[in-house]
Amino acid sequence: MTRFLLKFSKNAKRYLLASILCAGVAIFFNFLMPRIVGFTVDSVIGDAETNLPAFLERFYERLGGREYLRANLIVCSAGVVLSAVISGAFNFLSRSSLAAGTERFTKNLRDALYRHTQFLPFSWHTEHLTGDIIQRCTSDVETARRFISQQLIDVVRTVILVVLALVIMFSMHPGLAAMTLGFIPFIMAYNTFFFLRIARKFKECDETEGVLMTDVQENLTGVRVVRAFGRERHELKKFDKWNELFAKKWIDLGLTLGVYWGVGDVVSAIQLMSVVAVGAYLAATGRLTLGELLVFISYTTTMAWPVRQLGRTLSEMSKAGVSFGRMKEILDAPAEEPGGETEPPLRGDIEFKNVTFSYDDTEVLHDVSFTVKAGTTFGILGATGSGKSTITYLLNRLYELPEGCGEITIGGMDIRKMDRYALRRGVGLVLQEPFLFSRTILENIDLASRSGDRALIKKRAAAASIDGDIEGFSDGYDTMVGERGVTLSGGQKQRVAIARTLMTGAPIMVFDDSMSSLDMETDARIQKTIREETKDATVLLISHRISTLMRADKIIVLENGRVIESGTHWELLEHGGIYRRVYDIQTGGGEADA
């Protein structure tokens, strides 16, 4: 845990240290106030011997001694205000640098988590639940933040406070100081014990709340079922049951908490009372001055609350360990390694050689081999689950082909020897359900290309037949996508994604079922322009629609992870296999020609 903390507090450490130092100074001057009051009561108003450090004594004498102060009580008052101002100033500095330190730490942590999730392999993402990751990146970060900004500092501050108070108190009257000190372990133990004990009850309450929450949520998401079966009464009964239980659990906890608070108050007040009573006895018998008694009372009051909190803080600090562990799990997952050839020969032929690939234990590709000649258009026909998407994932190394499962080469170079990012930059991929970011449409199209060239963006949008739709939105190209803006239809998203990929001018373009939501005419029009826009690019078209594939230079048919037919459109029709049958169905019956 310490290593974890240090790693993310590189530029925050000195602020945290400064904060602690300033807190010490602030506490010191805060403790000076009661001393000034005590001194005034004893040696100015009263006639006790002054008992000041040498330099203060000299200053006191030069000022004119007791007589001067008696005539000018305002000087004592000014001393109180001055120490308050100094204490306040350092308090402010302490808090500001604490904030600067913890917020730096938090930013480091947040950025590191984000960066790491960006560079984790795609397979990691498919294996983990989004909600869980987000929770780790948000609430666990918050726990870590609180750990430093509140708990850790609170402990340090309380320790300084107690030590400083005790030093001063012991210098005045060791016996009374020892008595005051005697209460502290007891108070701390009581609080720690109690909090550990009710932590379980708290957890139970939280769990009941979770159940109630789930109940309401299920009722709301299932509202159509509830209504259709007329089950409102049943639902209300169920809700009442949980709602009552929830209230009951908390009220029960309230009883325990009440006792805890009450006893805590009593213990602290008894501590103060003992100081007052014993102190009064000591003062009455001349073993303590009145001023010192007032200092004791004041210090005891100041210490009471932080000491009570300390027990709670200590018991809560243990929770932070769990959060650190959960974050570490993300940060320790191995990220994708870049490395390899940064300028791979992407304009060469793409070759799949005996590729076999499995997810978990399910084989999705079996001994797949084919060659895509550079600059040609290549079609892959297959149904859902035939393994056609896996081909694209392997090609741009979203999934890594393990050793011994065949080889994928581009321009004769194994893609595993290429720099991952150079490869992906060179493979423009459009997916069936493309993801658009919640930015403007313009930014979405220019996302990978970063050209900032508005005219070019419009040209590519026109090539993807989406320009008309975009002009129709209220803010045109500057319309926001997503929650804060327009919701695009599946077909519109696909076309924006096509424009986005066209912008990159990648030497290899893969359209993975990316025209499925478009009608045949738009599909054909876009294909024509794509071919014109990307003259020398190698294009892979993946579809279950013959009309999308028929103009390709070569087509393969994929079924259950195997290549079962390959050839040109006409060759495949001649061959009379699955391709032919799909063609017949899609063109509406038996005619050979469309």
Partner 1 sequence: MRESTDHEGKLDLRLWLRLGPYVKKVRRPLIISIVLLAVSSLAEAAYPLFTSYAVNTFVVPGVTRGIGLFALVYALIILAGGVAVAFYSRSSMVVELTTGKLLKRACFVHLQELPISFYSTTPVGYLLSRVMSDTDRISSMISWGIIHMLWNLCYIIGAVVFMFLLKPSLAAILILVIPITAVITWIFEKKILVENRKMRAFNSMITGAYNEGITGAKASKTLVIEEDNCASFGVLTGKMYRASVRTAMLRGFLLPLILFCGSLAVAAVLKRGGHQVMVGGMDLGVMSAFISYAVGIIEPVVEIAGVITDIMAAQVCIERVTALLDEPCLIEDTAEVKEKYGDSFEPKTENWEPIRGDVTFDHVWFKYPDGGDWVLEDFSLHIPAGTTVAIVGETGAGKSTLVNLACRFYEPTEGRVLIDGRDSRERSQLWLHSSLGCVLQDPHLFSGTIAENIRYGRLEAEEEDVIRAARLVSADQVAARLPDGYKTEVGEGGDRLSTGEKQLISFARAMIADPPIFVLDEATSSIDTETEQLIQNAISRVLTGRTAFIIAHRLSTIRQADLIIVVDDGRIVEQGTHGELMAAGGAYAALYEAMRIKEEDEEVFDGR
| Dihedral Cα 89, 92, 94, 98, nearest 10 deg | -160
Task: Using the rule CB under 8 A, give the single segment among 241-249, 321-329, 365-373, 464-472 that binds partner 1.
Answer: 241-249
Token look-up 């294009």 returns 539
Q: State how far the alpha carbon of 244 is from the alpha carbons of 226, 236, 247, 248, 565, in Å.
A: 21, 12, 5, 6, 66
By CB under 8 A, tell whether 342 contacts partner 1.
Answer: no
d(CA 367, CA 455): 46
Residues 430-489 that bind partner 1 (CB under 8 A): 431, 434-435, 437-438, 447-448, 450
The reply on whether position 581 binds partner 1 by CB under 8 A is yes
The footprint of partner 1 on residues 111-170 (CB under 8 A) is: 111, 113-115, 117-120, 122, 125, 130, 133-134, 137-138
Q: Least distance (Å) from partner 1 to the CB of residue 118?
A: 4
DSSP 479: P
For residue 515, report the phi and psi dihedrals to the nearest 5 degrees.
Answer: -115, 15
Copy the structure tokens of residue 549: 């594939």
Is residue 396 a contact residue for partner 1 (CB under 8 A)? yes
Binding segment toward partner 1, per CB under 8 A, in 48-56, 57-65, 288-296, 526-534: 288-296
Q: Assess 253 for contact with partner 1 (CB under 8 A).
A: yes
Stretch that binds partner 1, among 59-67, 178-186, 525-533, 576-584 (CB under 8 A): 576-584
**Residue 45 lies near partner 1 (rule: CB under 8 A):** yes
**Cα–Cα distance measured from residue 180 to residue 296, given in angstroms and rounded to the nearest whole number:** 9
Nearest of 183, 158, 180 to residue 288 by alpha carbon = 180
Q: Which is nearer to partner 1, 111 or 337 (CB)?
A: 111
CB of 236 to partner 1, least distance (A): 6
* Residue 190 is a binding residue for partner 1 (CB under 8 A): no
Stretch that binds partner 1, among 57-65, 84-92, 317-325, 452-460 (CB under 8 A): 84-92
* Smallest separation (angstroms) from partner 1 to the CB of 37: 6
For partner 1, which residue of 18, 25, 60, 110 counts as binding (CB under 8 A)?
Answer: 110
Residue 195 lies near partner 1 (rule: CB under 8 A): no
Q: What are phi and psi of 412, to 5 degrees?
A: 85, -5
Q: Which CB, 163 or 259, lies closer to partner 1?
A: 259
CB 85 within 8 A of CB 63: no
DSSP string, 324-345: HHHHHHHHHSPPPP--SBSS--
- Tell me the closest approach of the beta carbon of residue 318 to partner 1, in angstroms: 25
Nearer to partner 1, 468 or 589 (CB): 589
Query: Could you say whether residue 229 binds partner 1 (CB under 8 A)?
Result: yes
Q: Which residues contact 558 (CB under 8 A, 6 or more apart)?
A: 368, 380, 381, 382, 386, 387, 388, 391, 564
Question: Looking at the DSSP assignment, which residues form a beta bridge with residue 509?
Answer: 428, 539
Tell me the window of 172-180, 379-387, 403-411, 470-478 that interacts with partner 1 (CB under 8 A).
Answer: 379-387
Indicate whether 40 belongs to the interface with partner 1 (CB under 8 A): yes
**Among 216-224, 367-375, 451-459, 473-481, which window interacts with partner 1 (CB under 8 A)?**
216-224
Among 4, 51, 60, 95, binds partner 1 (CB under 8 A): 95
Residue 92 interacting with partner 1 (CB under 8 A) = yes
Among candidates 418, 421, 367, which has minimal Cα distance to 558?
A: 367
Nearer to partner 1 (CB atom), residue 257 or residue 486: 257
Residue 555 engages partner 1 in binding (rule: CB under 8 A) = no
Instruction: By CB under 8 A, tell whether 382 contacts partner 1.
Output: yes
371 binds partner 1 (CB under 8 A): no
15: left (phi over 0), alpha (psi -120 to 50) or beta: alpha
Residues 401-430 binding partner 1 (CB under 8 A) are 421, 424-425, 427, 429
547 binds partner 1 (CB under 8 A): no
CB environment 491-505: b (16+ within 10 A), e (fewer)? bbbbbbbbbbbbbbe
Q: Does 234 bind partner 1 (CB under 8 A)?
A: yes
* Residue 334 interacting with partner 1 (CB under 8 A): no
* Continuous segment of H or E residues that includes residue 350: strand 350-359
| Identified binder of partner 1 from the candidate list 167, 196, 284, 594, rule CB under 8 A | 284
Site string for partner 1, 350-369 (x = CB under 8 A): --------------------
Place of tokens 């590519």: 460
Give whichever of 297 and 317 is closer to partner 1, judged by the CB atom. Answer: 297
**CA contacts within 13 A on the Cβ side of 199:** 16
Secondary structure (H, E, C), 70-134? HHCHHHHHHHHHHHHHHHHHHHHHHHHHHHHHHHHHHHHHHHHHHHHHHHCCHHHHHHCCHHHHH
Answer for which of 6, 178, 196, 225 binds partner 1 (CB under 8 A) is: 225
324 is a contact residue toward partner 1 (CB under 8 A):
no
Q: Could you tell me if 464 and 429 are in contact, meaning their C-beta atoms sit under 8 angstroms apart?
A: no
Q: Report the alpha-carbon distance of residue 355 to residue 353 in Å, rounded.
A: 6
The answer to whether 377 and 551 have CB atoms below 8 angstroms apart is yes
